[in-house]
Amino acid sequence: MANATQPVLHLKRVAIDTYHENVAYLHRECPVYKAEGFQALSKIEIQQDGHRILAVLNVVDDECIVMPGQLGLSEQAFDHLAVAEGSSVRVNHAEPPLSMEYVREKLSGERITQDKFNQIIQDIAHNRYSKPEIAAFIVAVSEAGLDRDEVLYLTNAMVDSGQKLDWEEKRVVDKHCIGGIPGNRTSMLVVPIVAAFGLLCPKTSSRAITSPAGTADTMEVLAQVDLPVERLHQIVREQRGCVAWGGTAKLAPADDVLISVERPLAIDSQAQMVASILSKKRACGSTHLLIDIPAGPTAKVRSMKEAMHLRKLFEYVGDRIGLVTQVIITDGRQPIGRGIGPVLEAQDVLQVLRNDPEAPHDLREKSLQLAGRLIEFDNDIRGGEGYDVARDILDSGRALYKMEQIIAAQGKQSVQYTLGNLTRDITAATDGTVVEVNNLTLARVARLAGAPMDKGAGVYLLKRIGDQVSQGEPLYRIHSQFPADFQFACHFAEKNSGIRIGRAEEQQFTW
């Protein structure tokens, strides 16, 4: 702990976004740096009148960043410390988190208790772990594996790491897809349908981890998604639903920290995925949850056996944390909709809401099936009748009107996002039938093109499984904004288009 005789430093806000990591900056000639023997990338503790944070230390030689008598804090660290710029602060070595010992236990294959998971997640949520330490925990969960009770313990710990919403209603519904299927923006259709029906549906979503777009990334094309919890409450009360990013509401905040490290590592283990999804839904106050597990040769879940195992895990953990959880297994052989990337996916959603004859039929039908299942959580709706109710709400224009209300309430997006103007059609090398569409490859092409960070980047799918094609006919179109991204995507797609042409009887994993 810092003591009163330590020299003080003057706080400076450094305009650097360090994305879910507290970072501090000391000049190499700083007297405190020399006296205390700090080392670059070590953890330090920063205090001022009861305010306290931990941060990773960066050492600088440029006085334009910090002077020798200053302590610089990145944007996130400055906000977390919550004291005025120029304030006097004291720094000291940070005590290593004791819970890292439990991470090492898990890496060696030992089973972790609820108390140990609680301590790990609390330390992560309070920024006591560096990113390498968080990566060690993610690898431990992914490689050593968790049994179903450990997944429950991790879920409980993540729920308890932040705020919990209570809507004071008997039924608060939500749906979530485990991901792995490009496009598939069903949530942006399900929410307005279900909210128009009258059920409370506060949809909080993550941003993309390994995909070209998450629901929050796509909704952000149309509306603001970074909503403080007070505003989130107001919108849901007024509109019966929202489509927002869960990060700013501080719901299971440890999950957002973990995701910030999972993204560059491209790790998305099933245990972590189940805990992430269910903890967010429980913290958001959901009482009834529908989980969509797409299964297919290039989906996250490759077989029906694996899908059934995951279904049982969701139901086991959901039941024990107080969530009525239903799981459906859907066709994951190819993307849903035509667009892959935020702007392209938003265009698909709007076409369906507007009942455009050119709207992607598969996106419409899947959304109606999911919305119907949520509507059937209402005791007044018989099983099997939900689809018809959902279809009537969509066909009548009530879903479009509700979506417009939700967009207005969240704040219509002030930035006009447009499609990337660098385009390239990837064409069929031969005549035949589309027998396979590789989800992973098309997602990779869209990400190389710049999605989701460049919202106008992505892939527009022109052919689907079962379609007849001729040599030279376009299979999909790449959109990009920046030449380097465009070249990366085109070069990759030229080597492997992700679409296999053959004979109709060669289709695999038929649904």
Which amino acid would we find at residue 4? A
Report the DSSP pairing between strands 51-60 and 43-48. Answer: antiparallel
Report the DSSP pairing between strands 468-469 and 432-437. Answer: antiparallel
Residue 467 known to be catalytic: no
How far is the C-alpha of 352 from the C-alpha of 361, rounded, in Å?
8
Residue whose tokens read 């039941």:
319
On the CB side of 18, CA atoms within 13 Å amount to 24
Cβ–Cβ < 8 Å for 433, 505: no
Greatest C-alpha distance within the chain: 80
Residue whose tokens read 């059937």:
376
Cβ–Cβ < 8 Å for 337, 476: no
Q: Tokens standing for 386?
A: 């939900």
Residues with Cβ within 8 Å of residue 367, at least 6 apart in sequence? 186, 189, 190, 193, 352
Residues with Cβ within 8 Å of residue 441, at least 6 apart in sequence? 298, 496, 497, 498
Selecting among 217, 255, 268, 348, the annotated active-site residue is 268
Just list the catalytic residues. Answer: 268
